[in-house]
Amino acid sequence: MSDRQLPVLISAAGGLVGLGIGLIGIDQGSRFVAIVTFTLLGACVAALCWCGFARRRWRVADAADRAKREEDERRRADAEAQLRAQVGRTQRESSVLVARLQSADDTRSRYENALGAIASRGSRTVRHHSATFVYEIGQDATGDRVIEHYSTVAGDADRPLLWCDVRISILGSTGQVDSVRDVHDVEASQVVAGRRYPLELLAAGHVGAGVRALVLFDPVIGPVPRDWTCSYRWSLWEPLRRQRSDTLAFDVLRTVRYDELEIHIVFPRTAIGPVVRPREPATNIAEPDEPADLGDGRREFVVRLSDPEPDHYSWSLRVDSFAPGE
């Protein structure tokens, strides 16, 4: 029974009681007056009783609501306190983890630099029957790629070649490069007995204006030429895309001999009027071949050097403009 139905029933009951009383007292006055009077009196008494009853129920309900609100507030406060404590623990744990990661990264960098120093002191002559470097210039940084192909023998006939270093220039890069680990999509492989196998690259710190990796050969390279390749992606040509000019530099080291060396420079199809010229024509006479169309709109310049002397070689790259890419 609802609180709305209760006062109606109580008033009706009070009225009936008053009516009964009025009928009993008809011999003491006017029947109609008595009935009305006692009916109203009964209804008033009933209403007062209901008000008292309802007030009590409202007090009980209000107390229950207040207790529930206090309990909800207490639970909310407890939950907030637990959340703050959890956040605090997480922040402390994160700080500890960041410190450990930084320490591990510093330690790894020291090991890489130490490995590079050992490699520099223990370097031996490497002879490449042929080496081809392909520099693919992208319409944006994601399209910049370098592919290196080698056919290699040990420089000393009586000393097999266990490793060779790969140097990655970071001039023109837009991102921070502290190690070969920071370069994208690094891959290397070799061909042994007609089958291709992956090669392991070990980061070996900085060298000159770039970073270095050591390529480990298994089995070692002897007098029989070994074909192997490596490739990677990195933003190398931002100056060309922004300023319409850039430089490609190549160092022939004293410990590396190239019987035949080719440098391929591939411009994107959006490049208008690409040009490649030696930067030092008095000392670098290696002019590129006439550009060739690769069939997909890209144009390729090829520089060929036979048994180049140890030196620093560089070429200027220019474009008139870049057409909007699709």
CA distance 261 to 154: 17
Reported as a pLDDT band with limits 50, 70 and 90, residue 31 is low
Contact 106, 100 (CB under 8 A): no
CATH H-level superfamily of 125-322: tricorn interacting facor f3 domain (2.60.40.1730)
What are the residues facing 241 on neighbouring strands?
none
Out of 21-25, 51-55, 254-258, give the one with best mean pLDDT. 254-258
Per-residue CA distances from 155 to 79, 109, 132, 224, 245 (Å): 71, 30, 18, 11, 37
Which of helix, strand or coil describes residue 266? strand
Structure tokens at 29: 């006055």
CA distance 233 to 237: 11
Structure tokens at 260: 């035949």
Note the pLDDT of residue 272.
93
150-164, 169-183, 298-312, range with the lowest pLDDT? 169-183
Domain limits, the chain: 1-122, 125-322
Which of helix, strand or coil describes residue 255? coil
63-77, 82-96, 108-122, 287-301, range with the lowest pLDDT? 108-122
Task: Please give the model's pTM, rounded to 2 decimal places.
Answer: 0.68
What is the bridge-based pairing of β-strands 321-322 and 299-306?
unpaired
